[in-house]
Amino acid sequence: MLRSLFTDRNLAAAPGALDVSPVLVAVRGIVLLMALVTVPLAEPHLGVGAAGTALAVALGVCVVGGVGWFLARGRERLTVATLAVLGVAGGMLAGLSPLSTALAVGCVVTATVGARLNTEVSMAITAGTVAAFLAAGLATGAPAEALLGYPLTFIGLWALGLTRRSYLLRAELAEQALAETRRAREAETEAAALGERARIAREIHDVLAHSLAAVSVNLEAAEALLYALPPGSPELGKAIECISRASVFTKEGLADARRAILALRDDAAPLAEQLAELVKEFGAGPGEQAWCTVTGVPRPVAAEAGLAVYRTAQEALTNARKHAPGQPVRLTLAYSPDEIVLRAVNRLPNPTASRPLAATGAGYGLTGLRERAALGGGTLTAGPADGEWQVTLRIPA
C-alpha cells in the first residue's frame, strides 16, 4: 500500500529509482527559499486587508509545508502529505500574488510530484495546485494571462516530471536486467566449473584409482607367491620387504586418489576430520606418535585451500617419518576470519640416529607445497628453529 504511492502500475519500482541527487534537492530548496522571501516584497503586502491576511496565511502554510517536506526524507506518507499541503498553499499563494515569485512554489511541487510519485497521486496534487490557484486568482481578479498561463505551467512541469520519472525507472530496470544477466552467467560458469570438476573426478576414479587397485592386488598376490618359496635366501627377504613397502605405498596412493576425488566433488569430510584421520594413520606405524589440535571456529573451506592444508600435513608427517623417526609430531590447525594456518612441529633427530628412509623420495616435496600455497594466495615456510623442525602454511580461506 505504501509502495503504491510511489510506483506506477505499469512500471516496477526498484531500490534507488526514486532517489533525488543532493544537487537537485539543494536547487529546489534555494528556489523555495527565494520565492518565500521575496513574495512579501510584492503586492499585496502581508496583513494589509483581506488579501494581505490570506497571503500571510498561505505563506505561513508554505513555510511549514516546505520544512516538513525536507524533514520527511525516507517517510513516504509524510512526504506525500507535505507535498499536497505545499502544492495547495503554493497555488493559493500564486493566485493571491500573481506578479511575484510565488509561482515558483507551485512549479517546484508539480515538477517534484511528477518525478517522484505515481501518476494518480501526482495528478491529484497537481490538480489541487491548479484549483487552489484558480480559486485565489479569480477571487482577487488576477490577470487573464496569469489565469491561463500559470495552470499550463504547472501542468507542463508535471508532465516533464513524469517523463523524468519514466526514464529513471526504465534505466533502473535496465540495470536490474543487466545485473540479473550477469548473475545468471556467473551461475552458469560456476555450474560448468562444477561439472568439469565432477568429470575430472570421474576420470581420476576410472583411470588412477582402478589402476592403483589392480597394482595393489597384484602386489599382494606376488607377496603370497614369494612366501610360498623355500625360505633362507637373502634376496627373497629383500624382495618380500620391497613388495610389502610397495603395497603400502600403493594403498596410500589409492587413499590419496580417493581424497582428491572427494575434494573435486565438494563432498569431502571436514578438514579437521581429515587431519585427525591422517594423524591416526601416522600413529599406527611402529614407534610413531602424532596429534592434532584445532583452534578457532572450524568452517567449510574451498577445496583448493583444504587440499593444500591436507597435502602440507601429509608431507610434514612423511618428512618426520623419514628424517626424524620416532619423534612426536604436533599439528595445529588455526582458523581465523581471513585465513587458516597449519603448523607442523617435530624435534630435530639425533645426528647419530639411524634414518633408513632419509634417502627415499625426489626431494621436491616442500618445493611443490610452496608452489601450491602460492597458487592459493598463501605462503609456506619450513626450517629449523629452537631445536625443532617447523612447517607453517598460511592460506586465505
Tens of pLDDT, residue by residue over 249-292, are 676 766 666 666 666 655 567 888 889 988 888 887 777 889 99
Q: What is the pLDDT of residues 320-337, one digit of tens each?
A: 888 888 889 999 999 999
C-alpha grid cell, residue 369: 607445497
Distance (Å, rounded) from C-alpha 324 to C-alpha 288? 10
Residue 179 sits in the same domain as residue 289: no
Cα-based distances in Å from 143 to 91, 103, 147, 317, 345: 15, 14, 6, 99, 96
Residue 151 sits in the same domain as residue 285: no
Q: In 3-state terms, what secondary structure has residue 337? A: coil
pLDDT of residue 358: 54
Residue 173 lies in a domain: yes
What domain range includes position 141? 3-183
* Domain end (from 147, 162, 183): 183
Residue 255 lies in a domain: no
What pTM was estimated for this model as a whole?
Answer: 0.45
pLDDT > 80? residue 388: yes
Distance (Å, rounded) from C-alpha 253 to C-alpha 267? 19
Residue 171 sits in the same domain as residue 276: no
Distance (Å, rounded) from C-alpha 181 to C-alpha 105? 43
pLDDT > 70? residue 313: yes
Residue 198 lies in a domain: no
Of residues 131, 66, 123, 121, the one with CA closest to residue 92 = 131
Q: Is residue 390 classed exposed, middle or buried when 0-12, 13-18 and 19+ CB atoms within 10 A define those classes?
A: middle
Residue 243 lies in a domain: no
pLDDT > 50? residue 9: no
Residue 308 sits in the same domain as residue 164: no
Per-residue pLDDT averaged across 206-225, rounded?
63
Residue 188 lies in a domain: no
pLDDT of residue 369: 86
Count up the domains in the chain and report the number. 2
pLDDT of residue 15: 38
Residue 146 sits in the same domain as residue 11: yes
pLDDT band at 209 (very low <50, low <70, confident <90, very high): low
Q: What's the chain's average pLDDT?
A: 79
pLDDT of residue 155: 92
* Domain end (from 156, 183, 210): 183
CATH code: domain of residue 279: 3.30.565.10
Neighbours of 13 (CB within 10 A): 18
The HSE-up count of residue 381 (CA atoms within 13 Å, CB side) is: 8
Q: What is the pLDDT of residues 15-60, one digit of tens each?
A: 344 455 677 777 777 877 887 777 777 777 777 778 788 888 888 8
Compute and round to an integer the Cα radius of gyration of the chain: 41
Residue 67 lies in a domain: yes
Residue 143 sits in the same domain as residue 45: yes
Per-residue pLDDT averaged across 85-95, rounded?
88
Question: Among 63-72, 147-156, 345-354, whose mean pLDDT is lowest?
Answer: 345-354
Residue 39 sits in the same domain as residue 169: yes
pLDDT of residue 172: 85
Residue 82 lies in a domain: yes
* Domain end (from 168, 183, 198): 183
pLDDT > 70? residue 7: no
Residue 248 lies in a domain: no
Residue 15 sits in the same domain as residue 140: yes
Residue 15 sits in the same domain as residue 138: yes
Residue 25 sits in the same domain as residue 169: yes
The HSE-up count of residue 229 (CA atoms within 13 Å, CB side) is: 12
Residue 42 sits in the same domain as residue 158: yes
% of the chain at pLDDT higher than 70 = 73
pLDDT > 90? residue 340: yes
Question: Among 126-130, 132-136, 250-254, 366-370, whose mean pLDDT is lowest?
Answer: 250-254
